[in-house]
Amino acid sequence: MKKSVILIISTLSLVAIILIGLLFQRAEVYNETIYVQKVVCTSIRIGDDYYDTFWNERSQRYLVENPEEPEKEAPLLFIDQLTIDVIYEIQPMDASTQTVTFSTNSDVSIASIEEATGRIVFYKPGIATFTITANDNNNESAKLKIRTKTLDG
Amino acid sequence: MQLKDKLDLGFIKDKAQLIRKIVFFVLRFIIVAGIAYVLFYVSSFLRIFHNSPFIPTSVMTMLLTIMLVISTFACTSELIKSLYMAEDNQVLVTYPISANRIFLSKIIVFYLYEVYKNFTFSLPIFIAYGMISPVNWFFYIWVFISFFVVSMIPVVLGVVLSIPGFFITRFFAHYQILKIIVFIAILSGFIYLLVRLILLIPAEINILHYWGPIKVLLSDVTNVFQNYFKAVYYVVIMVVGKYDITMKYTYLNNEVWLVLLCLVGILAALFMAAYFLARFIFVKMTSTSFEYEKRFRLKALLNRRLPTFLSFVRKEIRLLFRTGQFTANFIATYISIPLFILLINQIFSSMDLYPNGQFAVQAFNILIIMLPLLASNSTIATIYSKEGRTAYMKRTKPVEIVFPLFAKLIPNIVFSVASLLASLYIFNAHMHYLSSNIILLAVALVLIQVGHILFCALLDLMNPQNEQYATAGEQISNPNEIKATVFAFITSFLVALITLGLLVEEQFMPYQSFNYAFLKILLLSAAFFGVAIYMFVAKIKAYYYDRIN
């Protein structure tokens, strides 16, 4: 059988499964709303590298974890325009609305965060705290504190 | 010369054909890039990877790893045949050039073919990635250059792997029984694993509820590729650039140069090491090939007289299993259809559907059973022509011509009907039809399948391509094959639509008793089969007897 025929059949099947699932599945399935109960900041991404975060009970914030010393905070090396992506998870995982909003109350001359994407940019070394808030439940949020410093401290 | 053989470069001399080829190439490039862009855009919009609107490099690492693995396997298998077992080797060594050059030319042909393949598939995907990511203009120049290096990877790995591959192939060539046992064992193991995997599909599928875990799983899978396939990850950053800590791509920095140099160095070292060993085997095989030729053990057999039709069927079965071609087609089609039906029914059975959804699922099942089966019948539209000039021997036999012609179709009819029945059994295991309904449906679909086979054979009888196959080999673009494929699509869609219409008309639900919808489908199929068999016999008469008279 020709590859193109296999490709057509596979695409057709995928489309049909999605269409039948969306059009003919009993509506009760969609009626149940599951609200976000917790927002967890799992890690941050700088370039292609991922850094884990951990929950610090004392400060009630997520901090960037030192890879060599678990549960210890690691400051990030500052360079101009240091850009960081926040990686988070919603609990329960099957929550109906999975979107969040990012914000910060920190000094805007130190760092800013894009409200929709969660992309952080540091302009000068220092400490900044960011908040990830569930869109369906304003009471559920997670705070992430990031400290940056230059090589000479 | 060898490139012409592999890529059919006849179009270069013809200006119109050249323009058509270029237009098709560009169109294909745009379509692949367009589809990839849409997929990347949807992933970005739905924030599939790490809940982020950005596509991480790990996604490209995963895609490139899969593409490289497939290409390496394909190259290895092709190189084993082309380097050590090709029949043209014995002709090529008679030319006034050294065996080394022939050997190198064969590898260069593979490399150029790999470049062509990458430029039509992998490269457009990378271009689409560039369009969705914050790359700068340099990427669009660099990506073309870097793919000349990327294309080397599967070819060099193929040359290396072809050495043990060749010895394994030779070992199995000497022990055919062992080859069959290993093949059946691997195939059975694969099918078993696939079935177990399909049965893992949960009893309740609700895409919205599972959306969160699916996203996490996808992100984790891409990260696995980035962490465990570091070599490919470095190749990806060489192509798309390195995401620096300001989340901008940097090109040709020290790290990329290092990757590029290491890659070229490793490939060169691997190639040189394999080159000396593979060349040695190549030269040995081309100069002393007779040593490896099959030695037939002559055994006297009593000539048993069989009924005429049975003799032809026996001959066809022997011819079929003599080459591995049928086995590949057999697996690709006849085994995969029941597995595919199991997969889609497992998915559908986990959905709670309205009655209209039930009708759609039943009709869709019939479409998915019939479409690949009928599409695979396109090979039937070449079955007589592929005999080349020997086809005329049929006319010399003192028997009714319908015997050899119909006997040629028997293996396909038997295997495809078995596959069809297995698919229907799986379909019914999910639907729980009453036996009378499923029997009527089974007979109807068998009649359509056999009828379609006869129509395809008819296409070949009415417009034979024997001369093309005799001169150009198997690579020709056969118009009958295209017609048969188009006919297969039309027939399958018509069968599915008619079934859907009849099921809706009769408001049939799987658990209900005897239903006239299936009787109507059977009657329509019988009419289709009747027309097919009438035309098959009538055309044989017209093309074989009346023409002679």
For B:163-202, CB contacts with A below 8 A are: none
Amino acid at B453: I
Tokens of A120: 């952080």
- Tell me the C-alpha distance between B457 and B378, whole Å: 9
C-beta atoms of B247 and A48 within 8 A: no
Tokens of B190: 């694969």
Q: Count how many pairs of residues, chain A against chain B, have C-beta atoms within 8 Å.
A: 129
Of the candidates A15, A11, A27, A31, the one whose C-alpha atom is nearest the C-alpha of residue B356 is: A27
C-beta atoms of B245 and A83 within 8 A: yes
What backbone torsions phi and psi does residue A118 show, to the nearest 5 degrees?
Answer: 80, 25
**Contact present, B31 and B120 (Cβ < 8 Å):** no
State CA B121 to chain mean position distance. 16
- Tell me the C-alpha distance between B256 and B234, whole Å: 8
Which residues of chain A are in CATH 2.60.40.1080 domains? 38-149
- Tell me the C-alpha distance between B449 and B444, whole Å: 9
Q: Provide the residue-wise pLDDT of chain B in tens; the chain has 549 residues.
A: 666 665 666 666 777 878 888 898 899 899 999 999 999 998 888 888 877 788 888 899 999 999 999 999 999 988 888 877 777 777 777 777 777 777 788 888 889 989 998 998 899 999 999 998 878 888 899 899 999 989 999 999 998 898 888 888 888 888 878 888 898 899 899 989 999 988 887 777 666 667 777 888 888 899 899 889 988 988 898 888 877 776 677 776 777 778 788 888 888 888 888 877 777 777 777 666 544 555 556 777 777 888 888 888 888 887 777 765 566 666 677 888 899 899 888 888 877 777 788 888 888 899 989 998 898 888 888 888 887 777 777 777 777 888 888 888 898 899 899 999 999 999 998 888 888 889 999 999 999 999 999 999 999 888 887 777 776 666 567 788 889 989 999 999 999 999 888 888 877 676 667 778 888 999 999 999 999 999 998 888 887 776 554
- Tell me the C-alpha distance between B462 and B539, whole Å: 8
Best probe of the A interface among B24, B42, B207, B208, by most A CBs < 10 A, is B208
Locate tokens 């990511």: which residue? B133
Grouping H, G, I as helix, E, B as strand and the rest as coil, residue B414 is helix
C-beta atoms of B371 and A20 within 8 A: no
Q: From chain A, which residues contact B within 8 Å (Cβ)?
A: 1-2, 5-6, 9, 12-13, 16-17, 20-21, 23-26, 28-30, 34, 45-48, 50, 79-83, 85, 87-90, 92-96, 98, 100, 116-119
The two beta strands, A82-91 and A38-46, are antiparallel
Q: DSSP class of residue B95?
A: S
Locate tokens 């590859």: which residue? A3
Instruction: Give me the residue from B50, B237, B372 closest to A9, CB to CB.
Output: B372
Q: Which residues pair with A149 in a beta bridge?
A: A77
Residues of B in contact with A94 (CB under 8 A): 208-213
Tokens of B527: 């009419």
Of the candidates B441, B419, B215, B394, the one whose C-alpha atom is nearest the C-alpha of residue B335 is: B419
Q: How far is A128 from chain B (nearest CA, A)?
A: 17
- Tell me the C-alpha distance between B485 and B474, whole Å: 17
Among chain A residues, the shortest Cα distance to B336 is held by A6
Of the candidates B69, B57, B61, B71, the one whose C-alpha atom is nearest the C-alpha of residue B120 is: B71
Residue B499: CB atoms within 10 Å: 27
Instruction: Check CB contact of B56 with chain A, cutoff 8 Å.
Output: yes
CA distances from A43 to A3, B71, B300 (A): 41, 35, 76
Q: How far is B544 from chain A (nearest CA, A)?
A: 30
- Tell me the C-alpha distance between B178 and B378, whole Å: 32
Q: Give pLDDT tens digits for A101-138.
A: 999 988 889 999 999 888 999 999 999 999 999 988 78
Locate tokens 């090709």: which residue? B86
| Per-domain boundaries in chain B | 2-292, 315-546
ipTM exceeds 0.85: no
Of the candidates B199, B203, B269, B260, the one whose C-alpha atom is nearest the C-alpha of residue B231 is: B260
CATH topology of domain A38-149: Immunoglobulin-like (2.60.40)
Best probe of the B interface among A93, A97, A102, by most B CBs < 10 A, is A93
